Amino acid sequence: MTDRKSEIKLVGVPGSPGICIGKAYLVDTDSAGVEVVEKYFIKKENIQSEASRFKSAVKSAREELTGIIESIPEDLWEHVHILETHKIMFKDKMLYGKTLDTIENEQVNAEWALKKVVVNVKSMFRDIEDPYIRGRISDIVHVSDRIMRHLLGTTDVNIGKIDKRVILVAHDLSPADTSQIQLERIKGFITDRGGRTSHTAIIAKTLDIPSVLGLEKATSVIENDDIIIVDGERGVIIVNPSEESLLTYQNRQEVYFAYKADIAKTSHLPAETTDGVRLNVLGNIELPTEISQVKGYGGDGIGLFRTEFLYLSRKDFPNEEELFSEYKKVVEQIAPQPVTIRTLDINGDKAIAFDKTDDEVNPALGLRAIRFCLRRPDIFETQLRAILRAAVYGNVKIMFPMISGYEEVQEAIGFLDKASESLTKDGVEHTRNIDVGVMIEVPSAVIIADILADMVDFFSIGTNDLVQYSLAIDRGNRQVAYLFQSLHPAVIRMIKHVIEVSSTKGVDVVMCGEMAGIPTNLPVLLGLGMNALSMNPPAIPVIKNAIRSLSVADSRAFMEDVLAQSSAEGVNKLVAETFGDLLMTRQASEA
């Protein structure tokens, strides 16, 4: 038994969720042949034929890619454009022309010339600041590798032809490789290279098979037919697992499958408690592209549309038309379901590079969100006008972040009215007939909720900041991270107060912080009377599922015990003891 290989654990970047166990199949896409290129000189009379050898390698590489593009199934077409770009790159002057020049001028073989050209292009890209553009070097490398394989006569491993149920192990998979993966043949895949934003990662998610990327040395550690476990959620792989690890993961896999099948089946059904109370489960989004996720996961609308992205990584402020067209897209796509647009919440942790005022010592308590907007009416009015115009196209609500006092709400609403008047004067189509709300995330806003309620249609509890400000902990400071407790008795009492005020005053309440997307918080939230929760889209099915196993009546009764607890630890323990079976196992299998 001594030659039994020992278990090795590697940690990489989670590509796509799920767990699979199977035999490794190494695909040498970045073959040694490409890495180690020999240099030799070409006699003058043979230069022409060396150049033609390169040209025909490019031609066949290009034909090969064309074939791949044509064979891509329809549901992956949105990724084809990157391959079309690869196709154009084959004849790019910087690659094709320069390689031919190098062959001729330096009288060297085509492989060496190509390698030299690519090294130069790489160095040109290395200094580019924009991470997206810098990342495009991988596209150029994929193209040149494909040419190189044809020059060297090494054949591309045809991933489409693998006929065993295996786990692919590769140095890197190009988008072309990934799109050829045949789902019924491959259990999962892992790569040395690649990060969260690589095209490979994006395609992996659409394929819905487990994958771990960026493992760095997977191809050097793993041998063909090694048994491996891929844990796509944690971004971990285990090579030559022990009996114990195998058992653990087999169980986890079963639970995961059962759980996934379960929630997928029901994610479109309403989130109704066992005693018939229907909750609104909404999604938080940042980019218009995330709407499809909210819909796919069965969300009831968008409870928080963060609008900062259009203001970040650029040199100036966006104009009204730009904002309007983005908002309109979101509003139209989610209609008739509602979308709550939060006005600009910047500075603090996401300062705008081009308009950076003096560095603040304490940005979380500084000139941010509504304070920043009220200070800069030009920027604020532009956004308000764009929102009122987009509101014509669906069900729009607007809310102001970081409200700490009465005057801020008054002023903000004043600007909204002014924006509406100016649009009327300009004869631009818009509507002022929308719900207006405020974020409840500063303790002072909780305490004067009764005053604020008279001015607005709804409250949105932003738990991330509310916890941070109430418990006086810097979210970014690791030293005090342990104090960040959503179920702290103070936080529970504040939420309770906000809900009580809103029911007396007849305003709606929704919760849109992280707290809303964690199943173990649900008994408390239901017990307090929350009936609308907004969260990151992937949490929607999980939360809907958990809601269906709880009852409001039980949760209300449970609240008496919760309110008797003197610490967050006590509350957590109580939840675990009372609802453990119902909520914890779900969460464990999801983790």
**576 contacts another protein (rule: CB under 8 A):** no
The pairing of strands 13-16 and 278-285 is unpaired
**563 contacts another protein (rule: CB under 8 A):** no
**88 contacts another protein (rule: CB under 8 A):** yes
8, 69, 76, 94: residue in contact with another protein (rule CB under 8 A) = 94
CA 287/CA 336 separation, integer angstroms: 19
**Residue 428 φ/ψ, nearest 5 degrees:** -100, 135
**79 contacts another protein (rule: CB under 8 A):** no
Site size for another protein, by CB under 8 A?
27
DSSP 72: S
**85 contacts another protein (rule: CB under 8 A):** yes
Q: Which stretch binds another protein (CB under 8 A): 120-128, 427-435, 479-487, 489-497?
A: 120-128
Cβ proximity of 562 and 492 under 8 Å: yes
- 162: helix, strand or coil: coil
**78 contacts another protein (rule: CB under 8 A):** no
CB of 8 to another protein, least distance (A): 37
92, 208, 286, 308: residue in contact with another protein (rule CB under 8 A) = 92
CA 69/CA 62 separation, integer angstroms: 11
Alpha helices in 317-462 (DSSP H): 320-334, 369-375, 377-390, 406-426, 443-447, 449-453
CB of 546 to another protein, least distance (A): 36
**82 contacts another protein (rule: CB under 8 A):** yes
Query: Of the candidates 355, 276, 261, 373, which has an alpha carbon nearest to the alpha carbon of residue 317?
Result: 355
Neighbouring C-beta atoms of residue 196, cutoff 10 Å: 12
- The amino acid sitting at 523 is P
**76 contacts another protein (rule: CB under 8 A):** no
CB of 82 to another protein, least distance (A): 6
User: What character string, x for contact with another protein (CB under 8 A) and - otherwise, covers 127-146?
Assistant: -xxx-xxx-x--xx------
Q: Which is nearer to another protein, 94 or 277 (CB)?
A: 94
Does the annotation count 512 as an active-site position? yes
Beta bridge partners of 400: 438
Q: Which stretch binds another protein (CB under 8 A): 126-134, 150-158, 177-185, 398-406?
A: 126-134
Q: Which is nearer to another protein, 355 or 554 (CB)?
A: 355
**75 contacts another protein (rule: CB under 8 A):** no
Find the catalytic residue in 150, 199, 430, 488.
Answer: 199
Query: Of the candidates 349, 406, 357, 405, which has an alpha carbon nearest to the alpha carbon of residue 379?
Result: 357
Q: Which is nearer to another protein, 98 or 586 (CB)?
A: 98
Those residues whose C-beta lies under 8 Å from the C-beta of residue 410, and which sit 6 or more positions away, are 455
User: What character string, x for contact with another protein (CB under 8 A) and - otherwise, covers 32-71?
Assistant: ----------------------------------------
**Residue 3 φ/ψ, nearest 5 degrees:** -85, 5
CB of 315 to another protein, least distance (A): 5
**In 52-185, where do the E strands start and end?**
166-170
CA 227/CA 141 separation, integer angstroms: 31
Q: Output the CA torsion 354→359→364→367 (10° steps).
A: -70
Q: Which two tokens stand for residue 530?
A: 């929350």
Q: Which is nearer to another protein, 139 or 561 (CB)?
A: 139
Site for another protein in 277-316 (CB under 8 A): 313-316
Q: Output the CA torsion 210→215→219→222 (10° steps).
A: -70
**125 contacts another protein (rule: CB under 8 A):** yes
CB of 68 to another protein, least distance (A): 17
Q: Which stretch binds another protein (CB under 8 A): 78-86, 184-192, 257-265, 377-385?
A: 78-86
Find the catalytic residue in 20, 171, 373, 512.
Answer: 512
Q: At what angle do helices 568-590 and 489-505 cross, to 10 degrees?
A: 90
The DSSP line for 296-345 is HTT-SSEEEE--GGGGSSSSSPPPHHHHHHHHHHHHHHHTTSEEEEEP--
Does the annotation count 199 as an active-site position? yes
- 368: helix, strand or coil: coil
Q: Which is nearer to another protein, 203 or 491 (CB)?
A: 203
CB of 233 to another protein, least distance (A): 29
Q: Which is nearer to another protein, 120 or 224 (CB)?
A: 120
Q: Which stretch binds another protein (CB under 8 A): 12-20, 81-89, 364-372, 467-475?
A: 81-89
**84 contacts another protein (rule: CB under 8 A):** yes
121, 162, 236, 374: residue in contact with another protein (rule CB under 8 A) = 121
Residues assigned a catalytic role: 199, 512
Residues of this chain that interact with another protein (CB under 8 A) are 81-82, 84-85, 88-89, 92-95, 121, 124-125, 128-130, 132-134, 136, 139-140, 313-316, 322
